[in-house]
Amino acid sequence: MPVPPLGDYPPEEFRTEGHRLVDWIADYLVWSLDNPVLPKVRPGDIRSALPSAAPESPASFEEILADFERVLVPGLTQWNHPRYFAYFPCGFSSPGMLADFLSTAVSQQAMLWRTSPAATELEEVALDWLRRAMDLPEGFEGVIYDTASTGIVHALAAARQAGVPDVRARGLAGHASFRIYVSEHAHSSVDKAAITLGLGLDSVRRIPADGEHAMLPGALAEAVAQDRAAGVVPFAAVATVGTTSTTAVDPVAAIADVCAAEGLWLHVDAAYAGSAAILPECRWAFAGAERADSLIVNPHKWLFTPFDLSVLFTPRMDVVREAFSLTPEYLRTAEKVKNLMDTGFQLGRRFRAVKLWTVMRAFGVEGLRARLRDHIRLARLLAEWVDEDPAFERVAPVPFGVVCFRAVPPGVEDLDALNERILGRVNDSGEMFLSHTKLGGRYVLRMAIGNIRTTEADVRRAWELLQGACAAG
């Protein structure tokens, strides 16, 4: 039944269509297991299957869902498939998905406490639950952003504000050049933040890493000294716990020492690996993080919370507010409260906290730990298989759920080309999806284990496909 001439669906119509959709999703979650992880469409296929202008007349939701299935499902990359091993895992889980539905249904928009007391206060509660589970200090206050890319813009804006207090009013014009230090393996979001903030790409100085891809703190100290001598103003360093290519762990404590000595803002990028801080046996990787000025963790990566939900923790939220708080008359309210709009440039915000709260309750911290431990176990198992097979070599340690390796069968001249062919073959199989990186100029395969539905059988099947693709030459 299409919508009436005015207004929304009648509630009973929503009920009917909602039940239809839930059944469709339940079926899809099963169906998807036996369908391509990486879709088989070519660029333009979907666009050309759709009309070029919107229809004038209404369609029923049933028709729309049928078209979604026919035209769009073949173009879905299955991020929540158990054999999706590319990039980083996605935080899909059924309880998280249900909570996200709930968030959409209640239409909260928590710019002010008044515009959603529930979303404002649940964000505080859920983030404090997460902070405790990760064993971060009590003084760390949290805020939810959409992505870590947005989070790091805010973290570095706070660093900029702390270093250049008149930047809020007067901007960077007329100032000297500033410098942010990152490992050579840091994520590109730091570069994009530097562009956004008007610091420029040249403000990001990449510090060399050791053989295990971790930043060399001695090299950091040297770079700072060089820059000071050259009249460039150091103001922040980013330590990564779990780099994108290899999940390498920068020595946070040693970097914190340099930051303390030099008066730099220390940001810890734990977007992926931060979730592992809920495991006591992984806490070593976060030693020194208690001295950070800011830290980012993405529950939408490896904590079963559907995209998007990234968290910035900081003991210096006052500086974030100093940079961004600004209340025009039409947003003034009488309450003495925390208004989330003061912690960033985004005014509107979804009720994201309900996803994280639901996930932590649905699994319990114990259940979250069990799942992360299983993913790490599977990653180590794969690492063993790689180590035992002379046709492969592992190229990085495996502290979390990502294994980096490449095929090195004897007698092949162009190993990069071989590994690229292997990647293409396993992805074309439709049975799995893997991505790559480069380390020291060499093409490397990268298998990220962390989706909630991934089992040992999935990892075993992936390894068989990889061995087969290598044997095919």
Residues 56-95 interacting with a copy of itself (rule: CB under 8 A): 56-61, 63-65, 68, 72-80, 86-87, 90, 92-95
Is residue 210 involved in binding a copy of itself (CB under 8 A)? Answer: no
Whole-angstrom distance, CA of residue 186 vs CA of residue 169: 30
Q: In the complex with a copy of itself, which residue's Cβ is closer, 21 or 412?
A: 21
Whole-angstrom distance, CA of residue 300 vs CA of residue 350: 15
Q: In the complex with a copy of itself, which residue's Cβ is closer, 217 or 375?
A: 375
The 221-250 site mask, x for binding a copy of itself (CB under 8 A), equals -----------------------xx-----
- Find the shortest distance in angstroms from Cβ 21 to a copy of itself: 5
Q: Judged by CB under 8 A, which stretch of 13-21, 213-221, 394-402, 463-471 contacts a copy of itself?
A: 13-21
Task: Please answer whether residues 381 and 459 qualify as being in contact, where contact means their C-beta atoms are separated by less than 8 angstroms.
Answer: yes
The count of other CB atoms within 10 Å of the CB of residue 98 is 16
Task: Please answer whether residues 216 and 261 qualify as being in contact, where contact means their C-beta atoms are separated by less than 8 angstroms.
Answer: no
Cα separation values, 85 from 90, 256, 316, Å: 10, 33, 36
The 133-162 site mask, x for binding a copy of itself (CB under 8 A), equals x------------xxxxx--x---x--x--
Cα separation values, 285 from 16, 216, 232, 274, 439, Å: 50, 15, 31, 9, 22
SS3 336: coil
Name the nearest CA neighbour of 291 among 322, 275, 324, 268. 268
Binding a copy of itself (rule: CB under 8 A), the pick from 97, 144, 238, 466 is 97
Binding a copy of itself (rule: CB under 8 A), the pick from 104, 165, 417, 428 is 104
Residue spans of alpha helices (H) in 141-215: 148-163, 167-170, 188-196
Residue type, position 137, single letter:
P
Binding a copy of itself (rule: CB under 8 A), the pick from 139, 165, 171, 468 is 171
Report the side by side order of strands in the sheet with 402-407: 392-394, 402-407, 442-448, 435-439
Binding a copy of itself (rule: CB under 8 A), the pick from 36, 37, 85, 122 is 122
Q: In the complex with a copy of itself, which residue's Cβ is closer, 132 or 228?
A: 132
- Find the shortest distance in angstroms from Cβ 257 to a copy of itself: 28
Q: In the complex with a copy of itself, which residue's Cβ is closer, 291 or 421?
A: 421
- Find the shortest distance in angstroms from Cβ 32 to a copy of itself: 9
Q: In the complex with a copy of itself, which residue's Cβ is closer, 47 or 261?
A: 47
Total binding residues toward a copy of itself, as defined by CB under 8 A: 170
Alpha-carbon dihedral 27, 28, 34, 35, rounded to 10 degrees: 150
Residues in 248-287 that interact with a copy of itself by CB under 8 A: none
Name the nearest CA neighbour of 127 among 328, 403, 397, 314. 314
Q: In the complex with a copy of itself, which residue's Cβ is closer, 218 or 364?
A: 364
SS3 115: coil
Whole-angstrom distance, CA of residue 353 vs CA of residue 356: 5
Binding a copy of itself (rule: CB under 8 A), the pick from 35, 135, 163, 191 is 191
Strand pairing class (178-183; 233-240): parallel
Binding a copy of itself (rule: CB under 8 A), the pick from 14, 222, 261, 428 is 14
Phi, psi angle pair for 467, to nearest 5°: -65, -40
Residues in 408-437 that interact with a copy of itself by CB under 8 A: 435-437
Residues in 345-364 that interact with a copy of itself by CB under 8 A: 345-350, 354, 358, 360-364
- Find the shortest distance in angstroms from Cβ 268 to a copy of itself: 18
Q: In the complex with a copy of itself, which residue's Cβ is closer, 7 or 211?
A: 7
Q: In the complex with a copy of itself, which residue's Cβ is closer, 32 or 467?
A: 32
- Find the shortest distance in angstroms from Cβ 28 to a copy of itself: 7
Is residue 8 involved in binding a copy of itself (CB under 8 A)? Answer: yes
Residues in 366-385 that interact with a copy of itself by CB under 8 A: 366-367, 370-371, 374
Instruction: Give 397-442 as a DSSP string.
Output: --SSSEEEEEE--TT-S-HHHHHHHHHHHHHHTSS-B-EEEEETTE
Is residue 177 involved in binding a copy of itself (CB under 8 A)? Answer: yes
- Find the shortest distance in angstroms from Cβ 241 to a copy of itself: 17
Contacts within 8 Å (CB) and 24+ apart, 11-20: 17/61, 17/62, 20/61, 20/62, 20/65
List b or e across 329-358, with b for residues whose CB sees 16 or more CB atoms inside 10 angstroms: eeeeeeeeebbbbbbbeeeebbbbbbbbbb
